[in-house]
Structure formats: C-alpha cells, structure tokens
Amino acid sequence: MIRLYDYLPSGNGYKVRLLLTQLAIPFIRVELNILNGETRTPEFLAKFPNGRIPAVEFEDGRRLFESNAILWYFAEGTRFLPSDSFARARALQWLFFEQYNHEPNIASRRFLVTHPQVQDPRRSLMDMMLKRGYDALAVMESHLAGTGHGDHPRQWFADNRYSIVDIALYAYTHVAPEGGYNLVEYPAVRAWLTRVSAEPGHIPITRA
C-alpha cells in the first residue's frame, strides 16, 4: 500500500489526503512531527532529500515529493485533471501560482501565527506576507469573478470543473483566517470555498 508521509496541520499534506480520499485510493498515513526534526533525520533525507512532507513511497520503493506533483500523478487520467493540453498547462499555471505566490505567504503566515514558539527570521516580514497573501487572493478573486480582459465568471479554476487545482488552492485558502486574513472582500473566493467543501467525499483538514 502507498505510504503518505504527512503532518496533520499541513495544508500541503491535506491536499494529498483529500485527493486520495476522493479517488478512493487507500493509503497508510505516517505522521511526522516537523517541529521535532522528524523530516530531517538521515533516514528520511536518504529517501526524500528536500526533507519535507508530504512525500509518497510506493510499495515497489518508488518515491515522490512536492504536494502538487503528487496531486498531478494521482489525478492523471481521472476527472480531477483536464485532458486537453492547453487546459493542462493552465492547470499547471495555477499549481505553480499556488506554490509561488500563495503558499509562501498565506500558509507561512498561518504557520507562524499558530506556532508562536517557533523562532523564524520570517517573523520580521509578517506585514509583507499579509500584503502578498492578499495580492494572491485578489488574483484568485479576479479569476473566479472573471474581471480580466475578455473574461467571464467561473465556478472552478480549471476547465469548468472541480480539479486538483481547486484542491491545491483550497488547502490553505480555507484556513487563511488562521493566518490573519479576512476574506470578506473576496466574495467569489468565499462562494468557491463553499462549492469545494460540498464536493462528494470532501474531508476536513483535521481528518487523519
């Protein structure tokens, strides 16, 4: 069976838990406490050199890390990933946006707020992270509300249906208030969060 190395509060881990659950793919969850260095042991680093969760190990020993790459692998050939090549590229665009513009601000700020005991030089950038996180939410709002050039309102991020892009962006957006974000000015984002949470097989981030 697949082994998923995970940390329950992690939105990146949650992405994989949620997709595997919705695909009805069984997996063994291996909880690692990232605060105690459990992802930086020699044993873990020998398998996953970047020392991060989520990470997946298959029964035949193959290994894969990076949450959005894991989503892509399991979604391939399912309804969770478009089949058209340009739609797939646009899906990837949003997955990279999530890891570059969204996660380092919204997820990192949530981590620092909810883990006050952790010393981190990024604490001096909390204001910058707040602003940049709101910038990412504004990009999401404009995409869903369809306010761009020649644009139209959308229900989902990719290809007019629920996909791994929605899973990836939902993971940290729905807990953004834990990082100090107020979503009141992002009505299209809030409506989309409700749609995502109503999808069949949805589980909360707290479900192991």
Give contact residues for a copy of itself (rule: CB under 8 A): 45-47, 49-50, 61-62, 64-70, 72-73, 76, 85-86, 88-90, 92-93, 95-97, 99-101, 103-104, 121-122, 124-125, 127-128, 138-139, 142-143, 148-150
Cβ–Cβ < 8 Å for 105, 136: yes
Long-range contacts of 19-25 (CB under 8 A, 24+ apart): 19/71, 19/74, 19/75, 19/80, 19/164, 19/167, 20/74, 21/201, 21/203, 22/80, 22/199, 22/200, 22/201, 22/202, 23/74, 23/75, 23/78, 23/80, 24/201, 25/74
We find the least distance from the C-beta atom of residue 125 to a copy of itself, in angstroms, to be 5
Q: How far apart are CA 82 and CA 158, in angstroms?
A: 8
Question: For residues 36 and 119, which CB has a smaller minimum distance to a copy of itself in the complex?
Answer: 119
We find the least distance from the C-beta atom of residue 82 to a copy of itself, in angstroms, to be 13
We find the least distance from the C-beta atom of residue 18 to a copy of itself, in angstroms, to be 18
We find the least distance from the C-beta atom of residue 200 to a copy of itself, in angstroms, to be 25
